[in-house]
Structure 1
Amino acid sequence: MPQPRKTQISLIDTPYYHCVSRCVRRSFLCGEDKFTGQSYEHRRGWVEERLLFLGTVFAIDICAYAVMSNHTHVVVCVDKDMADSWSMKEVIRRWHQLHQGTLLSQKFQKGDALSTSEMISLKETALIYRQRLYDISWLMRNLNEYIAREANKEDGCTGRFWEGRFKSQALLDESAVLACMAYVDLNPIRAKMDITPETSKHTSIQTRIHSLIKGEQPRKLIRFVGNHRKNKPKGIAYNLIDYCELVDCTGRCIRNDKAGYIEQHHSPILTRLGLETEQWLTLTTEFEQHFSTAVGSEHMLQQFKQHTNHQRIRGMAKARILLQHT
């Protein structure tokens, strides 16, 4: 039986989450249908474009993504403080990029005068909008419903396009976040859709590598901000070059037709995480197999279990083996 979303999301424990949506129809979300020969490859661009757009509207940063043939992976970081800092005007402006809002919110955005009672009502509405703009469920709803409408329109049919709900995993520590990002970025290589990260279309790693070649970082993805330090800007506390190199090495290891290995002293990220190569490779190839609702060290899992009122959390044993140094 599906678990309530409130038992899967706990911002007290972590702002990072891995979300997976799967297509329910045999006709595929993207790729080519082997039975009919029809190509749906262009839909991968729909998903990528919509997801990156939503990242500019919501107070939710996009960390990693991969658009596959019948499912999508997204790693996100919720920034509740950012949403709380927005003015009511900013909240309404952002919400209207996605929905029509109410007559009062439309009137307010036009600059028309509102009575005292109308303003009180609008403030209550804006509070709801603010909460939705840092809600992962609303982000995924705005992604999946949009894609479903476009795909149904193209297919000339109606009905359910996605499975009932998206799956989410809380990423409770740095090891879980970095391993999950690499797991997502390497999805096309594990599926033998591509042979290198830089050629993996519609993935965050390709976007990051193409920007890195220009000496930049993608504006619509969360930034890598270097090593831990005081007053560091918001972002992932590792070097982007180190991450891209680690993903490349990992990709060579998991491909059967191309030998490769990761030398511990050549991987600053693994050194800082305290992970051995074998642990890292297991995490980045079998991430979803070993963990369900949350991923992290045993201590972090115990805390998450308490805060979300779970009786048990699957993955405790694997956490002791794979994330014992975190």
Structure 2
Amino acid sequence: MPRPQRCEQFASSEVGIVHVVQRCVRRAFLAGVDQATGKDYSFRKEWIRRRMEALASVFAVDVLSYAVMSNHMHQILRNRPDVCAQWSDEEVAIRWLRVFPGRRLEEHLAEPTESDVQMLVRNKERLAEVRCRLSDISWFMRALAEPIARMANKQDDCTGRFWEGRFKAQRIVDEAGLLACSMYVDLNPVRAAMSTTPETSPHTSAYDRIEASKGERIPSAAFDLKPIPTEEAGREIRETPVEVLQEKRKAKRRNPTGKRIRRDGWLSPLTLSKTTLSAEPQVHTKGVRSSDRGFLHIRWSDYKRLLDWTAAQSVAGQVAKLPKRLAQTLSEVGIDASMWRDLVWDWQKYFGKTSCVGRPESMKADAERIGHRHHRGQVRAAACFG
């Protein structure tokens, strides 16, 4: 069965949750220790995390979970056209210009001004196109992958591809699939034997949430969503030496807003609010993420306990008994508790080649939505769901 088209998996006009995987070219350790040269490029993982954080502040895309590995990265993304629809024309324009400022004669002139914003606002056809792109997962990934590739190539003084190609996408169609996939993503470093616990797995959403629960705060990478007054920009360019402007821009990129946030402040909250109507977009107003909507009917404390228990079950056939409360949590979303360890640790066996993640009945319904009878891997996945 051929891989479905992207338009069948997600659309910028509809809210959807997608698990995406982006691999380095030839699966080389371009963000880890290069086996050929012995050079350590692990610092590039922070490049990727900060770029992801910055994009979360301007795109109508929620980052639910992520893991940056040495030769690939995982993300669970939820596009939010309902949030984007709430933004004013000026907000849409400045968000777009922060990520795609357009062609400039010099890098130090790339700061969008009030004049640039109004010019885009007056172009209604272009503005409608931009609004659509801001809730498009493909454009989010493009804005993430391309700058990282350029930075790495500049550092290595080379040209060519950094990423293998377009990202792989899996549509997540129910909460059972979302819980399992989120756990799989968070435990990627443990499964790869790079660490033994979530607490020692940096550059994952689990690590960020754990450190945030301890009170850790970090300099925000969020874009500054205020345009520069046109007159001020012109005066600064005329009166300030180019070298000074370039240094000023570099300093601002390190912390554009000058704020410090909780380490997980840019991620989507984990727990869905029971009191919030499903139709409410819950637009975020502090400039670090698109919305305040959670994604699981589970408290962080229970998720953390399940995460720790799953991380400890590294040896197949020597699985400890799952605590009753956690088993009940799994059964409530339709997951067979006795198969939970296998589902997360052997994820590739059940969902490695599928384009859809969820319970069999949900996968079948999604296949019918796009005119197919079933999704690949649907029968094999049935063993893990009650």
Q: One fold, TM greater than 0.5?
A: yes
- C-alpha displacement of 1:217: 7.7
Q: Distance in 1 between matches of 2:4 and 2:144?
A: 21
- CA distance in structure 2 between the partners assigned to 1:113 and 1:322 by the alignment: 54
Question: What residue identity is the alignment partner of 1:146?
Answer: P
1:210-229 maps to which residues of 2 (within 5 A)?
210-214=211-215, 218-225=264-271, 228-229=274-275
Tell me if structure 2 keeps the 8 A contact 1:47–1:147. yes
The answer as to 2:294 corresponding to 1:235 is: yes
Give the Cα–Cα distance (whole angstroms) in 2 for the partners of residues 182 and 197 of structure 1. 10
- Partner amino acid, structure 2, of 1:30: A
Partner of 1:151: 152
1:154, CA displacement in angstroms? 1.1
* Consecutive unaligned residues in structure 1, runs of 5 or more: none
Q: Secondary structure at the match of 1:160?
A: coil
One of 324, 331, 347 as aligned partner of 1:264: 324
The DSSP-based 3-state class of the residue aligned with 2:346 is: helix
Structure 2 regions of 5+ residues with no counterpart?
Answer: 105-110, 217-261, 283-292
Structure 1 pair 113–5 and aligned structure 2 pair: CA distance change class (3 A): closer
**Secondary structure of the residue that 1:224 maps to in structure 2?**
coil
- Residue 304 and residue 259 in structure 1: after superposition, are their counterparts in 2 closer, same or farther (change >3 A)? closer
2:67 and 2:324 mapped to 1: Cα distance? 27
Distance 1:40 1:8, change over 3 A: same
Report whether the alignment pairs 1:290 with 2:336: no
CA change 1:112–1:253 in 2 (3 A) is: closer
2:337 pairs with 277, 281, 284, which one?
A: 277
Q: Higher mean Cα deviation, 264-273 or 77-86? A: 264-273
How big is each residue's C-alpha offset from its partner over 1:255-282, in whole Å with a ceiling of 9 and x where there is no partner?
58x9754223345532422323332222
Q: How does 1:1-326 map to 2 (within 5 A)?
A: 3-9=4-10, 15-25=16-26, 27-101=28-102, 109-110=114-115, 122-214=123-215, 218-225=264-271, 228-229=274-275, 231=277, 234-236=293-295, 237-254=297-314, 260-267=320-327, 269-291=329-351, 292-310=354-372, 312-323=374-385, 325=386
With over 3 angstroms needed to count, the CA separation of the structure-2 counterparts of 1:171 and 1:14, relative to structure 1, is: farther
Moved over 4 A (4+): 10-14, 111-114, 258-261
**Shift, 1:36, TM fit:** 1.4
State the percentage of identical aligned residues. Answer: 36
**8 A Cα contact 2:12 2:132, kept in partner:** no
Structure 1 letter corresponding to 2:215: K
TM-score by length of 1: 0.87
Contact 2:93 2:117 in 1 (8 A): no
C-alpha distance 166-154 of structure 1, shift in aligned 2 (>3 A): same
Local SS of the residue matching 1:41: coil
The structure number with the bigger radius of gyration is 2
Choose 238-247 or 292-301, whichever is displaced more: 292-301
Tell me the CA shift for residue 25 of structure 1: 4.1
